[in-house]
Every structure is written in C-alpha cells, then in structure tokens.
Amino acid sequence: MLALNSGGAAGAVVPAVIVFGDSTVDTGNNNQIGTTLRSDFPPYGRDMPGGARATGRFGNGRLPPDFISEALGLPPLVPAYLDPAYGIGDFARGVCFASAGTGVDNATAGVLSVIPLWKEVEYYKEYQLRLRAYAGAERARAIVRGALHVVSIGTNDFLENYYMLGTGRFAEYTVAEFSDFLVAGARRFLSEIHRLGARRVTFAGLTPIGCLPLERAENMIHGGGCIEEYNRVAREYNAKVEAMLGGLRAELPDLRLAYVPVYDTMLDLVTNPAKFGLENVEEGCCATGRFEMGFMCNDEAPMTCADADKFLFWDAFHPTQKVNRIMANHTIDICYQQGLL
C-alpha cells in the first residue's frame, strides 16, 4: 500500500485523472450506447464501496483508474463521460472516455458497436470546450496539462478482432504486421492527445492474454492451460509499444510518458498466486468462470463464488477488484519512478 500512502503529497499537483481505453478502464460509458456489451446489472459491482451497485464497470468493484484517482487525493470513482448523473464540475477532477470492447483499430469497435478510439478523442476535445466554459481558459489548460492520462487498450484488437476472424484483418496482415499497424495507431493517438494538451500519460502493455479464463476454456483440448501463442504475441507487441514510446519521448520532450508493464505483474499473479492471497487464477468468480462475461454473468447464473478476493478474475475476461488495486498500485509506482508524479 506504499503507493496509496504516498499519493497524498502528489494529490495537490495532479488536478484530474483522464482515462482512455477499453473495458479494463471503462467506468460506465457503455451503459449509454446501443451495444450488448455492458455490465450495468448484478452481480457486477456487488463489492462496490458503500454497497452493491452495478455501475457498468466490468468487475465486482472498482477499476484501476478509481484506485489511481483515490491515491492522488482525488475522488475514489472516476465518472464516465456519458453518465448523465455527472457534470463538468465532476469531470474537472476526473473523467473516463473509455468504452468496453474497443481497440486501437477502428474495426475492433465495430464488432460490438462500441465507441472507437477516435471518438474517445472527439469527446476529449468536447470536454475541453466544456472545461474552458466552466473554469476559464487558463484553469482549463492547467487541468489538462496537469492531469494524469491513463490509457489501457489493445487486448480486444487481438482477441475480439484479429483472432475472431470477423473483421478480415487476419487476411490483410500477418500477426506481426497487425501488431505494427496497432503500434502505429497508438502512436498517432498519443501524438494527438499531446497536441491537445496531455503532458502526463501512462500507457499499459498487454497482459498474458492467453491466460484469460476464456482463452483457457478454448484450450481445453490441451488441458486448459494458457495459450502460449497468444502470450508470445502479447510479448512481441509489448516490445514494439515500448520502443515506440521511447521514440515518442525523444520527439516530444515535454511529454512525460510511462509504459506500464502489466504483463509481468499479471504473470506473477498467475504463477505465484499464494503470494497475493489468491486461490484460483484459472477461472472467473462469476458462474462457471470459464466463458461468462457481460449478459452471461448475471444474478441468475449459478455457482458464482462467495469471496472474489480469492480469485484473479471476476468473469472470464476481467480481473477482480483486488487485482485492479494491485495494478493501480503498480501504475502509481511506475509514475513515481519515471517522474510523472
């Protein structure tokens, strides 16, 4: 808990947390759009602080941006930009543009009709206009420049897009070429939010995507282990992302840009569960834990576990609140180490 305890001092100099990405960081935007990929129903949110509340977060409680915000002395929940319960006064201290199911590739968002990354950037522009009207141009500029921008995206580009074959990307690119395509897209995105004022940015790499319960379930013919091909692709993609971020730092010296190596942390959780008080790292807590997520993880599903803190995964794709806290602490540590905070 060192990161959370040391966060108070940094809170004064980080006016807001601004979030882009997918379901790993979507705090409820998908509730407001016409997609089947949503989680605004029980048992999602059953362990939220203050009592069970399904907010649209894909988990049993809070997500990493929520913990990061709290660690920086900001509100303990980062509001979704499309949530009508919040206004610009709330968004001045934290805002999430992320959409579950999206990716760097625009085609990924089309699979389940969610918000593409380019639209997240359009919302960011709109947010800044609203912020200027609310706080004045000088203060709005200071909020954006001082904010910690948290980006977590990429898993869906491979598992929902390339390997599901529905978008045709597999026919256009080898997997290595597709990785290059995504890294170039991520670079354009980062350059654009820098142009719009972002100066502190964390960019998360991919986890061992072959170890997600959904992928293990697909690998039952080989005993239900991690799909090593997917993990190798994640490692190779991460290496390209890290190199791209290094080049971008050299090109934009006023951009403090941190790579968050979540692969290593997640692999440690998978291979050394007892160290973290985990008992099950192969299945999700919800229902059978092998394939349920979204509408299949519902209040009527039998077998949902009593204590999610014993599980690495909440559903077949998303970590539990306990693991999200670990990931948030890791991100905060990286930010201190690399001078973002």
The pLDDT tens digits of the residues spanning 154-173 come to: 999 999 999 998 899 999 99
Looking at residue 59, its pLDDT comes to 97
What CATH fold (topology level) applies to the domain 17-209+227-262+321-338? Rossmann fold (3.40.50)
- Categorize the per-residue pLDDT at 10 as very low, low, confident or very high, splitting at 50, 70 and 90: very low
Residue reference for tokens 């014993």: 310
Segment 97-115 shows an average pLDDT of 97
Segment 73-91 shows an average pLDDT of 98
Higher confidence at residue 208 or residue 300?
A: 208
Segment 243-259 shows an average pLDDT of 97
Instruction: Give the count of beta carbons closer than 10 Å to the beta carbon of residue 300.
Output: 8
Looking at residue 131, its pLDDT comes to 98
- The phi and psi torsions of 319 (rounded to 5 degrees) equal -70, 165
Percent of the chain with pLDDT over 70: 96
Looking at residue 1, its pLDDT comes to 33
Looking at residue 4, its pLDDT comes to 38
- For residue 286, give the nearest of 319, 266, 264, 316 by alpha carbon: 316
The pLDDT tens digits of the residues spanning 289-324 come to: 888 889 999 988 888 999 999 999 999 999 999 999
* Catalytic residue ranges: 23, 315, 318
Segment 235-248 shows an average pLDDT of 98
Report the Cα 155 to chain-centroid distance in Å: 10
Looking at residue 87, its pLDDT comes to 98
Average pLDDT across the chain, whole number: 94
Which residue spans within 161-295 are E strands per DSSP? 200-204, 256-260, 280-284
Percent of the chain with pLDDT over 90: 90
Report the Cα 187 to chain-centroid distance in Å: 17
**Would you say the C-alpha torsion 202, 309, 30, 116 has a positive or negative sign?**
positive
- The phi and psi torsions of 260 (rounded to 5 degrees) equal -105, 110
Segment 107-113 shows an average pLDDT of 96
Looking at residue 222, its pLDDT comes to 65
With a CB cutoff of 8 Å and minimum separation 6, the contacts of 44 are 54, 55, 56, 57, 58, 59, 60, 297
Looking at residue 311, its pLDDT comes to 97
- DSSP secondary structure code for residue 221 in this structure: G
Per-residue pLDDT for 15 more than 80? yes
CA distance 157 to 194: 23
Let me know: does 194 contact 140? Beta carbons within 8 Å: no
CA distance 224 to 292: 16
Peptide bond into 64 cis (omega under 30): no
Per-residue pLDDT for 3 more than 50? no
Residue reference for tokens 């959780």: 269
